[in-house]
Structure 1
Amino acid sequence: MLFFKNIFLILSLWIICTLGFAESPPPASTLPPHSIEQLLEERKRAVQLEQEALQVTTQQFNEQESLWATVKVTIETTVITEKYLQEADLAQQEAKLAWEKRNIAIQNLSDTLKKKELEQQTQQTKLDSLNQQVVDTELRVIKNQQISELTDDIQLQAQIIDLIKQQLDIAQKHLEVAEQFSKLMTQRFSVLMDVYNQQSRQQLSVQIEQQQQYYVTKSEELQKQLDTLQDEGKSWQRELLNGQLQDVDEQTQKVARTLRLEQIAVLLNHWSELNQQKSLNINDLSDIETVYTELSNMQTLLKNKHLVIQQQQALLQKRGEALAGKDQQLYQQTLSTLQTIETRLQSEIMALPPLLTQIKQVYEHSETLYKQIVKETLLKRRIIPSTMTGWEKLGNDFADVPIIFWKQLKLTLLNFKHTAESIPENRWSMISIGILAWLLFFIGLRRYLTHLFQQLESMAEHSFAIDTFLTLLRLLNKNAYSIAFSGLFTLFIWIAQPNLTSTLFAFILIFPWLVVKIPLNLAWLLLAEKEVIPPENQRLYRNLRWVIMVTGLFVVITALAHLIDIDSGITAWIDTLFMLFLSLTVIPIMMIRRQTLHFLEEKAALKNHWLFVIRFISLLIPLTIITVSLLGLVGYINLGWYVAASLSVLGLVLTGWLILQGGLEDIIYLWKNYALKYSQNGLLWTQDIIPLFHRLLGIALAISTVTSFFWLNGWLNDVAMEDGIQRLANYTLNIFGITFTLKNLLLAGVTLWFVFWFGGWIRRVTYRWIYVNIIDLGVRNSLSVFTQYVVLIVGLLLGLQVMGIDLTTFAVFAGALGVGVGLGLQNIANNFFSGILLLIERPLRTGDIVNIGDNYEGTVTKLGIRSITIKTWNKQDVIVPNSQLISSAFINWTHSDHLLRITLYIGVSYDDNPHQAKEIILSTLSNIPNILADPAPIVTLWEFSDYFVNFRIDYHINLQTGSSFTTRDLLLFALWDNFKAAGITFPYPQQDIHVKELT
């Protein structure tokens, strides 16, 4: 107990000094002149005493730290009593109290210093004002006297301020020692608490194991009695033994449950202490949730057992109603045993709800505290010293870093030496055999790689994949021995199993050279030509080498700073220097990026996709560095590291996604080629089925990428991040009185995008394959469009449902839409519904020849939901609204069939024979190939005109095989030739003029 007595003496001394610091001297202006010198002397003596007290407390703290280091070695073998633990807790609280009082004293001194400086500034202002005043000769003596008094007061204030500053500096050093002592006491109490809990658990485990052994022995005895019991006439005796055996089994299980409940109680105390110390992490929250689930399952199990026991008692009571004699006694004993089991189960069930409530409260409090800790940790800024003493301490701490590093290096070497000496000699022989096999494996690997290089280089054509694979093999070949020796060191670590700190220290010192060597070798392999780097690539390689080497050095320094036992403030400043260095590397990295991309564009035959991957990765690196370095330079070190980790994971995940996406593109390309080559329905596969799989795999890959990003960052189980994401996802928007959340809007957007894409896909599939037996292309197109509309309507309703819109309340929006239609969207809605009517009634189809209002004549090329497209004979596309087709008459030349009747009128002279002309016309019609014989052409003497005999010619053509313009042209030329050959002339208008007289 001498350790605690010394601790309380130190704490008492600190508190007394603290109370002395907290006293504020009276203002100098209120003191009589003879007390001023006395005040200064008291101040000086106080400063001297405080300096001496600081030396004493520092020395005592060092002694206590050494004493604790000695006690800590044997603490695990020391029996920790509850009284000893209480004394440690009291010492911890006293240390914290002393530290808090030190803070209060420093705050008082700071307030006093500010007040004195303000008074000095006020007096200096008065003195300056007095010096500038112009007074008469009579008042000059009074002025000089006032100036003299003010000057003396200012000098006195200066001396007091200087003494207060000295006190404040000493108080800061006292605070540092108090803080270190508080940390020592907290660490000591934590160690003692862990050892005490471990010893308590061990004692409890021993007791419970003894009880379990007792019940197991008793269960074996009962089982032997049950096995030796005869079946004839002893059914109730067997029932009693079964009941007793069941009771023993339940007691055995209760012992195990009691042990678990005791462990949970210890865990509850541990979690409560973590809450008080604000040192929770995400694993603790997960453990609390796991224990809560375990207790809930235990409660359910006990309730089920209790119900089974009740049912068993009810069945037993039915069987024992008519018993008498010895069977009645056995029945009563069996029933009493079951009732005992029921009572025990009931008591256990009643004990669980308060414990579950307590765990739930601890979890809720821990969850809130964890969120607060995460926020405070991320937003914690680096502390910059505000005084010269602080800067001096910072310099001294930096000077101690090499000493601490050297000590850790010696400890690591000593630990490896001890672990190597502890390995038995027979294991060293096995290790030697393993080392030899490992080295032989890498020698054989290098020979195999050399043979493989020759085969790959002999290939006539090298694809990008083969070149990449060849480069990776060369990289493995160059680093084979380095990897081999690194593997041997890892094997030694695995066999010897030194402590964790020594292992990490050795890994940080040894493995970075391999991490630096591999990128340098890769750069050399990419830039070299015939084992020599060309002059135009030497600058790029030189920049890469320096950036990689210096970055590796800073990474080692920063990692060691986080590993060895140095002050957290020094670690923050080393992180700041590392981030400052990172900010300086942005410009070289951008230059290297530009040169690298230029090199790849010229030398490597890359596809656009892979070139985009390289561009993205090379751009993400400097952007990450800029973000992290800026956060670190402004003081947010933890936030900078967190952002760096998240952005690194983002870059890794996006890089993997881009690579997998490119690989998927290549696989789809090969699949399409295979389908075209070996499948009878190659077009179906390449145009419709494979693109659907491509799209679905792309969506699955995107979802997997997002999930991987959250999983690698640990956000799936992080309640703080989960809470932030939920708040963002549940952010509400109010549109037309309907509430939306960002999550629902995002899901609805994705759903609608997929529905529109799937609608287009289903339209193509139905037109090409499902409705392929429909000969009418217009009907087929209309059905496919109608199917697309059905899919879009269903998808729209699904999207609205995903957005959280109740379709029964959608009437408000529909009413607003109706008002909008009535005011401004009338024409659009008219055309939309007219398009639906056109699809249903089918008055025209794609390919029909129509004449609309004597304005547009041509072929229908497209039927849309709002309009149709007509290509005129002048090759002009005319867009006609659907409402015009519904509300007005139009001519469809090919609605029922593709036969078109054409009528011509031909006149011959009265001097010619009309019978001969009719025969010539019929003969000419039969010789024109585009004119159909069925229905047959008709030639009719139509009328006797003024100067010619007019014939009407009616003939039919098939618009699918012939053109009306071409057929008309052929017919007219043929009639001209045939009439001319027969001497029949085409009359032209004549007029006879009769002159009655000439004068």
Structure 2
Amino acid sequence: MDGHSEFAGRVLSWLEQGLAIAEGWLRSPAAWSQFALLAAAYLVARLIARRLQPRLVTIITPKAASEGLLPDLRRFLLRFLPLLLPLLAYGLTALGESLTRATFGSGEVIAFGKRVFLFLAARTLVRDVVTDAFLRLLGRYVLVPAAALYALGLLDPAMERLAAAEVVLGNIRFSLLTLIRGAIAGSLLFWLGAWSNRQSADYIKAQQELRPATRELAVKAAEIAIFGAAFLLLMSILGIDLTAVAVLGGALGVGIGLGLQQIAANFVSGIILLLEGQTTVGDYVELDGGEKGTIVKMTARACILETFDGKWIVVPNEDFITSRVVNYSDQGSANRYEAAFSVSYETDINLVPGIIEAAVAALPFVLKAPDGPDCELRGFGESSVDFAVEFWVNGIDDGKNRYGSPVLFAIWNALKVAEIEMPYPQRVVHLRPAAPAPA
């Protein structure tokens, strides 16, 4: 209750001071002249803005189809035109303040008006210029109230009040002002870091002359550098000694060595994968554990594989280093597959390779280079002669692109046309005569 009564007393004191200042202004001829200068500054600023703004729009607006850095910069500047009126009023008021102080030796009224125009500029910035949701929220609840307190001359007392209030966390003491400043600075820094990270990632990914693995590594390095710099800058703003951060880093290193070995191994493995570039985004891979799919994303901890039926498999990076990985090559490269079939023993097997190779070569997706279809005799089974035809295609038989099924259809149709039988197992059953009954 004592704290509330003390605060209420301060508020009443500020109100009394404000009423006394307003009463003094109403009785002072110098104050009335300053009010007139404020009104004149606003009217002149409004007239200049009305004439100048259409011309600025015409000059700054780029052509509709133009692209590039300069047109984007001009479009960005167009968003700030609503600030023209309050800023012009602020500038003219500043000139009027210097004039009244030289003439009357005082300029409190016009200085108050200048602060009001600055408040209007802040309000216009948040309402009409800023489009990002986070920045608009920050401006609405931080910038505009701070500008209002500054206009009323209450910003310094409020700062002193916040600096005097302490927050105790164990043996650590912070002033409320330090916590608020840290929260605002941290929000801005990490928002700026996220924006910078997106811009740098888009720029790096647009460099097609770099290998995909190099681009991914550069994106991760830029992300670590940006957020690391933001964290160190925030520590400096909060006044935290960076030696404490070094001690924390040492303790974190011990924790990683003892309890986070697997995470550290995956992180290091991810860096090795990006540096070597033997597997990268877009590759179709198959691991010893049976996982197979196209790599759609590589993170610091794991690789994301997408199967042909749309499922995502998260594979730790360490598995790519410690186990055997079959990489079916980069996108667009040729791969060899084979299809097995059998014919009966009554077939003239010397005719089979020519028939099958011609039938498979006629398929539109089968390549002639690096080698055309090759039909090979694989062995003599119990009831059939076994063959296999090898063929090259430009892609991967991953389920989406089914190359095996059309090839088998072509083999079946070609054998039917040539009247070659594809046998099935047959068994001969011998029935013994029944034994004579005992006499």
| Interval containing the TM-score (normalised by the shorter chain) | 0.5 to 0.7
> Is 1:835 the counterpart of 2:270 in the alignment?
yes
Q: Please name the residue that 2:154 is paired with.
A: 715
Which secondary structure state, in structure 1, belongs to the residue aligned with residue 402 of structure 2?
A: helix
1:885 to 306, 320, 325: 320
Shift of 1:919: 0.5
Structure 1 position 803 matched with structure 2 position 238: yes
**Local SS of the residue matching 2:272:** helix
- What's the counterpart of residue 948 of structure 1? 384
SS at match of 2:412: helix
Aligned to 1:194: none
The residue matched to 2:409 in structure 1 has which SS?
helix
Secondary structure of 1:914's aligned partner = coil
CA distance in 1, matches of 2:171, 2:317: 31
Give the alignment of 1:233-312 within 5 angstroms.
Answer: none
In structure 1, what is the equivalent of residue 53 of structure 2? none
1:42-57 to 2 correspondences below 5 Å: none
SS for the counterpart of 1:850 is: strand
Q: Equivalent of 1:790, from 222, 225, 241?
A: 225
Quick one: which amino acid aligns to residue 753 of structure 1?
A: W
Does 1:759 pair with 2:197?
Answer: yes
Extract unaligned runs of 5+ from structure 2. 1-5, 14-26, 28-114
CA–CA distance in 2 between the matches of 1:948 and 1:778?
49
CA–CA distance in 1 between the matches of 2:199 and 2:161?
A: 38
Matched with 1:912 is 347
- 1:110-121 to structure 2, matched below 5 A, reads none
Aligned pairs for 1:768-783 (under 5 A) are: 768=206, 771-774=207-210, 776-777=211-212, 779-783=214-218
Structure 1 residues 884-936: Cα deviation after superposition (integer angstroms, max 9, x where no partner): 33333322212597322212222111111112111011101211111111121
CA contact (8 A) 2:205 2:215 kept: yes
Deviation at 1:867, TM superposition (A): 1.9
Q: Separation in 2 of the partners of 1:863 and 1:978?
A: 45
Alignment check: 8 A CA contact 1:849 1:858 kept = yes
Q: Which amino acid aligns with 1:891?
A: V
Report SS of the residue matched to 1:930: coil
Q: What corresponds to 1:16 in structure 2?
A: none
RMSD (CA atoms) = 4.2
Q: Which amino acid aligns with 1:966?
A: R
Change (3 A) 1:961 1:910: closer
Alignment of 1:534-933 (within 5 A): 660-664=125-129, 705=144, 707-716=146-155, 718=156, 720-728=157-165, 731=166, 741-742=178-179, 743-744=181-182, 746-768=184-206, 771-774=207-210, 776-777=211-212, 779-822=214-257, 824-894=259-329, 898-933=333-368
Quick one: distance in 1 between partners of 2:411 and 2:149?
A: 84
Change in CA separation of 1:962 and 1:810 when aligned onto 2, cut-off 3 Å = closer
Distance change in 2, residues 1:782/1:794 (3 Å): same
CA pair 658-994 structure 1, distance change in 2 beyond 3 A: farther
**Shift of residue 712 of structure 1?**
0.9
Structure 1 residues 594-627: Cα deviation after superposition (integer angstroms, max 9, x where no partner)? xxxxxxxxxxxxxxxxxxxxxxxxxxxxxxxxxx
CA distance in 1, matches of 2:342, 2:203: 56
| Whole-angstrom CA distance in 2 between matches of 1:881 and 1:703 | 43
**In structure 1, what residue type is equivalent to 2:409?**
F
Report the Cα distance in structure 1 between the residues aligned to 2:429 and 2:298, rounded to whole angstroms: 61
Instruction: Look up the SS of the partner of 2:153 in the other structure.
Output: coil
How far does residue 697 in structure 1 lie from its aligned partner after superposition?
Answer: 9.8
Structure 1 residues 374 and 951 mapped into 2: Cα distance closer, same or farther (>3 Å)?
A: closer
| Aligned mates of 1:905, 1:896 — CA distance in 2 | 26
Q: 1:972 Cα deviation (Å)?
A: 0.5
Give the structure 2 partner of residue 589 of structure 1.
none
Kept after mapping to 2: 8 A contact 1:858/1:870: yes
1:209 aligned residue? none
Deviation at 1:986, TM superposition (A): 0.8
Q: With CA pairs under 8 Å and 6+ residues apart, which has the higher RCO, 1 or 2? A: 2
2:342 is paired with a residue whose SS is strand
Q: How far 1:950 moved relative to its partner?
A: 1.4
Q: CA deviation at 1:374?
A: 9.7
Contact 1:748 1:803 in 2 (8 A): no
Residues 930 and 961, structure 1, Cα contact 8 Å, conserved in 2: no
Q: Is the alpha carbon distance of 1:823 and 1:963 closer, same or farther for their aligned partners in structure 2, counting shifts above 3 Å?
A: closer
Is the CA contact 1:748–1:800 (under 8 Å) kept in the aligned structure 2? no
| Higher Rg of the two aligned structures | 1
- Of all paired residues, the percent bearing the same amino acid is 26
- Aligned AA for 2:411? L
The answer (yes or no) to whether the contact 1:847–1:859 under 8 Å persists in 2 is yes
User: Is contact 1:657–1:701 with CA below 8 Å preserved after alignment?
Assistant: no
For residues 398 and 363 of structure 2, what CA distance do their matches in structure 1 show?
Answer: 11
> Residue by residue, what CA displacement relative to the aligned partner does 1:294-327 show, whole Å, maximum 9, x if unpaired?
xxxxxxxxxxxxxxxxxxxxxxxxxxxxxxxxxx
- Give me the whole-angstrom Cα distance separating, in 2, the residues matched to 1:835 and 1:763: 18
Contact map agreement 1:848 1:895 (CA 8 A) in 2: yes
Cα 1:833/1:990, change in 2 over 3 Å: same
Partner AA of 2:192 in structure 1: F
SS of the aligned residue for 1:991 comes to coil
Return the letter of the residue paired with 1:834: S
SS in 2 for 1:747: helix
Change (3 A) 1:825 1:883: same
Aligned to 1:975: 411
Contact 2:335 2:396 in 1 (8 A): no
Displacement of 1:659: 5.5
State the Cα distance separating 1:793 from its structure 2 match.
Answer: 2.9
User: Counterparts of 1:868 and 1:704 in 2: how far apart (Å)?
Assistant: 43
CA distance in structure 1 between the aligned counterparts of 2:405 and 2:339, rounded to whole angstroms: 12
Matched, 1:985 2:421: yes
Asked whether the equivalents of residues 759 and 789 of structure 1 are also in contact (C-alpha less than 8 Å), the reply is no
Aligned to 2:91: none
Q: Work out whether residues 901 and 957 of structure 1, in 8 Å CA contact, stay in contact via their aligned partners in 2.
A: yes
For 1:225-240, list aligned pairs within 5 A.
Answer: none
The one-letter amino acid paired with 1:715 is: L
How many pairs align? 328
CA distance 1:832–1:757, shift in 2 (3 Å): farther
CA spacing shift, 1:736–1:956, aligned 2, 3 Å: farther
Q: Are the aligned partners of 1:930 and 1:962 in contact in 2 as well (CA < 8 Å)?
A: no
- Contact kept in structure 1, 2:127 and 2:136, CA below 8 Å: no
Which secondary structure does the structure 1 equivalent of 2:239 belong to?
A: coil
CA distance in 2, matches of 1:899, 1:955: 10
The 1:750–1:801 alpha-carbon spacing in structure 2 relative to 1, beyond 3 Å, is same
Q: Deviation per CA, 1:731-761, whole angstroms, max 9, x where unpaired?
A: 4666898989423454234323321332133
1:722 Cα deviation after fit = 3.8
2:339–2:388 Cα contact (<8 Å) kept: yes
**Structure 2 CA distance for aligned equivalents of residues 928 and 736 of structure 1:** 78
Correspondences of 1:78-227 after superposition (within 5 Å): none
TM-score normalised by structure 2 residue count: 0.62
Q: Deviation at 1:787?
A: 2.7
**Partner SS for 1:812:** helix
